[in-house]
Structure 1
Amino acid sequence: MFILELGLIGLCIALLPLSWVWVKADDDKFRKLVWLTTFMTLDLVMFGGFTRLTDSGLGCPDWPGCYGTSSPFIAHVQIAAAHLAMPSGPVSMTKAWIEMIHRYFAMAIGVLIIAQTAIAWRARIKRLPLHVSPWWPTALLGLIVVQGAFGAWTVTMKLQPIIVTTHLLLGLLLLGSLAWLAARMTPLPAYEPDAARWRVAALVALVLLVVQIALGGWVSTNYAVLACTDFPTCNGAWIPPMDFHHGFHLWRALGMDGNGDVITQDALVAIHWTHRTFAFIVVAYLVWFALKLRRYASLRRPANWIVIVIVIQFLTGLSNIVLQWPLPVAVAHNGGAAILLLLVVVLNFRIACSRPGRAVLPARDTAAV
């Protein structure tokens, strides 16, 4: 019964953006729905970071509900008892609400993608001009099912770092895929004859960014943000004592090494130092790449934004160390990484499509009405 209640909550949340798209007085409803879903997925990724950073991932220690109910209101007795038994533990009413709000919005995005899938297949069956294959939203629907499974394992496997990191990366894969679909549904800028030569460089930028995000996720899920307490050195040394073997042993419990012992400080330093050091490579490459693309009118705006977001990322990353990991700054750092991913994906799309015959897509569609 509570599964049905959870579904209704997700549907009610999704009805707000669906209603906004429906009442818009134009024919671009499907494109607006995709962009709105992309924006909400970005919000969900940031709220997922907030959930992790507030240690709320086990605020409801079961899945998909909270102590077998659809709301912390209903489960208040069990939550109060768990908090009384362990006041400093992972369960409290505040943490339970943070975790359940994260799940509610994830379900709402699932509803929005189901709506996209239904609209796309209806357009295919009725031969309406939607300008996108229905297999795109169908693949996104499959991806969000896999993402939901990793969300469940995040809870049932007690925040095991590799599971949590994979959950984060799948969320970013969903975000990037939605951004690509949204860009595909949007009229392209004027054709740039020379931009296509940057395709390989754009792909390298995307790969480097994804690796850096994965390293950042590994830092966060292992709570290694404060393993180095100074900058630019790490604990007073350029190359401090580090244990890469245990730090990057993937299959292990939270706070433990591969042998089941408590993870050492040297292992946490290895995790932090690797993320920090690789950041210099990624920043240098992305700044060089963005500055090179500023010569193209169709690429100048996202390229400028990449430089701006990188500066913000550097400042928030440094603040996490100097200011001892303040929550708003840590959430902003997570969000900045997601925004960078969006910008690099958009650049990859525009460069990949920068050739004759694919300069502009129709600006209107009637399949979504």
Structure 2
Amino acid sequence: MTAADLIDLRPVLWLLLTGAALAALPLTWLLRRHRQASPAQRRHALALLTAVLTFDLIVFGAYTRLSDSGLGCPDWPGCYASASPVGAHAQIGQAQQAHPTGPVTHRKAWIEMIHRYLATGVGALITVLAFWHWRAWWQQRRHRRPAGPPAPEPGPVPTDAAPGWATLCLVWVGLQGAFGALTVTMKLYPAIVTLHLLGGIGLLALLCVQAARQQPLGQPSRPARVGAPGTTCRPAVQALLLLVIAQVMLGGWVSTNYAVLACDSFPHCRAGEAWPVMDFAAGFEWRRELGRQSGGEFLPFEALTAIHMAHRLGAVLVLGVLAWLSLHLLNAPDPGQRRAGRCLAALGSAQLLTGLSNVVLDWPLPSALAHTAGAALMVALLSTWLAAQPRPQGLGRQLAAGPAARVSADTP
């Protein structure tokens, strides 16, 4: 397959129809379940549902990568210019016969295409969500207009109808699709694959923020009932979220460079080597192909060791901040903060156990998937907590802003 054949748009229509059909299933369930709910409640429920399905997509994307199925279909968006591996049965069979353990097999092709179908379905749900918000926003502006002149200045749009977050998610998922195409056409270029993972995590965080900030007016915040840390801990939660995102990037760099097994023991990297020889310059060179240096030479083992050890050191920092914040919340007088502390401690413990098992148990697939899921869940939880809590304001600023301005303060 030549470079010109890597992108073939002939199956786009069928892929879009498949994604729309997949999106119709949860959307129909949501409309039936919330048939007595208000439009604002339905939009909020769809944001939550899309966030859950995005989390599932991130985990399945990790499975696609860890099962070496990222090039199961070597072109984009279809599979050998077909909408499914069924239409490419002959081509896949030839590739599998030539290289039985290579990147293209029938099983890997199905895994890769299912991932694309699910991603298209999530994109369709985000499109519906943006349409609903823009429709509600337009209806509210139209109903606010008086019958005759003069027309007053339009007031702030209520939080539950503000289309900004939904539009941002729609733009983001489009960029994520572009990175998905580059992942295939650039043959698993490590920097692109890592950015694709970060894009999925970022999309999940945006959907969680949207669901938390665009609660139907007059309803209590769900994250507050779960136990949000509160405004006093906001700087610490922000710092922890940034550290977790940086650690996710390091973890993605470890996974995309297959550096997990560069160290096979704990707490030492290897038996008798607490601080092994490492090549950070080669390991963290972004402009290079998989397994190669920028000059085309093979990536040295010391570079893989540096990648692995950087992720370990980052984990120490993240777990330290997480432990401090968890203890602070566990000792707080508010029951909601204590619940938040227990939740953080449980997530941190699970991440530590799954990370260790990846090393000492020779990178088992369930543990690797659980580690990715835990990282995504932590980002989702911290993002929701931050979005659910109002920004601290002085009393004079609050009085000057008025209730209408405070309602719209959370719109992007």
| TM-score, reference length from structure 1 | 0.92
Which protein has greater RCO, CA pairs closer than 8 Å, 6+ apart? Answer: 1
Pairs aligned (count)? 358
Alignment of 1:270-281 (within 5 A): 270-281=306-317
Which residue in the other structure is 2:50 paired with?
37
Q: Where in structure 2 are the equivalents of 1:91-130 lying within 5 Å?
A: 91-127=104-140
Deviation at 1:74, TM superposition (A): 1.1
- Cα distance, 1:152 vs structure 2: 0.2
State yes or no: 1:221 paired with 2:256. Answer: yes
1:240-319 → structure 2 map (5 Å cutoff): 240-294=276-330, 295=332, 296-319=334-357
Aligned residues of 1:117 and 1:141 also touching (Cα < 8 A): yes
1:353 Cα offset (Å): 4.6
Write the letter of the residue equivalent to 1:278. Answer: G
Alignment gaps of 5+ in structure 2: 1-9, 144-157, 408-412
Aligned pairs for 1:180-195 within 5 A: 180-186=209-215, 187-188=220-221, 189=224, 195=230
State the partner residue of 1:329. Answer: 367
Match of 1:126, SS? helix
Q: Tell me, yes or no, if the aligned pair for 2:351 and 2:374 is still in contact at 8 Å.
A: yes
> Of residues 164, 176, 193 in structure 2, which corresponds to 1:135?
164
Residues in 2 aligned to 1:261 and 1:178: alpha-carbon distance in whole angstroms: 42
> Could you tell me the percent identity over the aligned residues?
45
CA offset at residue 347 of structure 1?
A: 2.2
- State which structure, 1 or 2, has the greater radius of gyration over its C-alpha atoms: 2
Deviations 1:124-149 (A, max 9, x none): 11118662411211111100010000
What is the match of residue 168 of structure 1?
A: 197
Partner SS for 1:84:
helix
Residue 71 (structure 2) aligns with: 58
Does 258-267 or 39-48 show the bigger shift? 258-267
CA deviation map 1:100-124 (0-9, x unaligned): 1110010001000100111001101
- Give the conservation status (yes or no) of the 8 Å contact 2:159–2:213: no
Is the 1:299–1:350 contact (alpha carbons within 8 Å) kept by the matching residues of 2?
no
Give unmatched runs, 5+ long, in structure 1.
363-369
Distance 1:185 1:299 in 2: 22
Question: Whole-Å Cα distance in 2 between the matches of residues 275 and 130 of structure 1?
Answer: 39
Q: Alignment RMSD, CA only?
A: 2.0
